[in-house]
């Protein structure tokens, strides 16, 4: 077998791998601005996760008005993916109560990279707040982002092919959530590396609440590192063969924060790709 044949075979295999993850939406996707180096995590750097979105949600009841925060992921110039439990009408919020900030890093101060948008429409896929089933939501922005010029420091994350099976990857969760259970949210964007947990282990922990077809788990069985309150809706970023990051999961729920034997549960994005493409009218793969 000639060396040239072997080299050509390797190149063909690499191209096939890249095609598996290729996003046909016209913008480039998933390229973090730094190598991957939030409980037990560390601070990110500004714009290191250029698809990261901060959702600020005003919730009004008969007695009071409060603000809550969630994360989200930019997937195109006018669509964001987040968790349904962040934006469900049962939270007491309306579409007009949701503000999305892109290019955010330190919430204590204004940054020149901040781009704010409101929400034109919210789409849920048979979400059940009682069981956390289908904890996924699409938000359509009231105004498109200009990713080629004015907002070229922002970038969508890549999306998986439908039915892609997650195995022993180590991924990165990002968000402004609390640094410990019951604590206040972080002022600065945090990141934490988390391994994907086998479905049978997750099923053992969460019993019937866990659906391997629609969810995945990530975290350390010994505890110590995890997502927490305020991280909901944010991305589980998993790096693929070409160096880009793929949105494998959406932060959904967990048992406290970084507790032993309680890996976090994430909505499995690959399961919902047909719904995402139908709703947005875009072809991502």
pLDDT at 2: 47
- 105 in the same domain as 194: no
pLDDT at 282: 97
- 111 in the same domain as 88: yes
pLDDT at 21: 44
pLDDT at 91: 81
29 found inside a domain: no
Question: Is 97 noted as a catalytic residue in this protein?
Answer: no
Beta carbons of 252 and 83 less than 8 angstroms apart: yes
189 found inside a domain: yes
Question: Is 85 noted as a catalytic residue in this protein?
Answer: yes
pLDDT at 81: 99
- 178 in the same domain as 109: no
19 found inside a domain: no
* Catalytic-labelled residue, pool 77, 97, 125, 135: 135
pLDDT at 138: 99
* Catalytic-labelled residue, pool 48, 85, 226, 231: 85
pLDDT > 90 in the chain, percent: 59
18 found inside a domain: no
Quickly list DSSP for the chain: --HHHHHHHHHHHHHHHHHHH---SSS-----SS----BT-EE--TTSSTTEEEEEEEEE-SS-EEEEEEEEEE-SSSEEEE-HHHH-GGGT--GGGEEEEES--BTTS--TT-EEEEEEEEEESS-BTTTTBT--EEEEESS---TTTTTTT--PPB-PPTTPPP-S-EEEEEES-BSSTTPPBPSB-EEEEEEEEPHHHHHHHHGGG--TTTEEEES-TT-S-B--TT-TT-EEEEE-TTS-EEEEEEEEE-SSSS-TT--EEEEEGGGGHHHHHHHH-----
Q: What is the pTM of this model?
A: 0.85
Domain region containing 132: 52-155+273-280
- Extract the residue ranges of the chain whose pLDDT is less than 50: 1-23, 35-38
pLDDT at 42: 62
pLDDT at 225: 61
- 237 in the same domain as 140: no
What total of structural domains would you count in the chain?
2
150: CATH: 2.40.10.10
* Catalytic-labelled residue, pool 232, 252, 262, 270: 232
- 199 in the same domain as 141: no
pLDDT tens readout for residues 146-182: 999 999 999 999 999 998 877 667 899 999 986 655 5
pLDDT at 34: 54
pLDDT at 143: 98
- 208 in the same domain as 237: yes
pLDDT tens readout for residues 49-75: 999 999 999 987 767 788 899 999 999
218 found inside a domain: yes
């Amino acid at each position: 077998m000639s060396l040239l044949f072997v080299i050509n075979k390797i190149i063909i295999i690499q191209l096939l791998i890249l095609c598996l993850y290729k996003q046909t939406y016209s913008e480039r996707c998933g390229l973090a601005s730094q190598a991957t180096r939030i409980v037990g995590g560390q601070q990110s750097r500004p714009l290191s996760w250029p698809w990261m979105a901060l959702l600020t949600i005003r919730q009004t009841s008969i007695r009071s008005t409060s603000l809550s925060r969630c994360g989200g992921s930019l997937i195109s110039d006018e669509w964001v993916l987040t968790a349904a439990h962040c934006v469900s009408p049962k939270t007491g919020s309306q579409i007009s109560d949701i503000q999305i900030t892109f290019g955010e890093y330190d919430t204590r101060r204004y940054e020149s990279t901040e781009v704010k948008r409101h929400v034109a429409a919210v789409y849920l896929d048979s979400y059940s707040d009682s069981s956390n089933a289908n904890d996924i939501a699409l938000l359509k922005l009231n105004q498109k982002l200009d990713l080629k010029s004015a907002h070229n420091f922002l970038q969508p994350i890549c999306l998986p092919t439908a039915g892609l099976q997650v195995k022993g990857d180590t991924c990165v969760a990002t968000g402004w959530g609390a640094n410990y259970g019951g604590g206040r949210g972080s002022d600065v964007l945090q990141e934490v590396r988390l391994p994907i947990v086998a479905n049978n282990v997750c099923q053992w922990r969460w019993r019937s609440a866990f659906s391997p077809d629609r969810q995945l788990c990530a975290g350390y069985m010994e505890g110590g590192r995890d997502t927490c309150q305020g991280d909901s809706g944010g991305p589980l970023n998993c790096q693929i063969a070409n160096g880009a990051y793929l949105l494998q999961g959406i932060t959904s729920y967990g048992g406290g924060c970084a507790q032993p034997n309680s890996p976090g549960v994430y909505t499995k994005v690959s399961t919902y790709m047909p719904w995402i493409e139908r709703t947005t009218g875009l072809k991502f793969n």
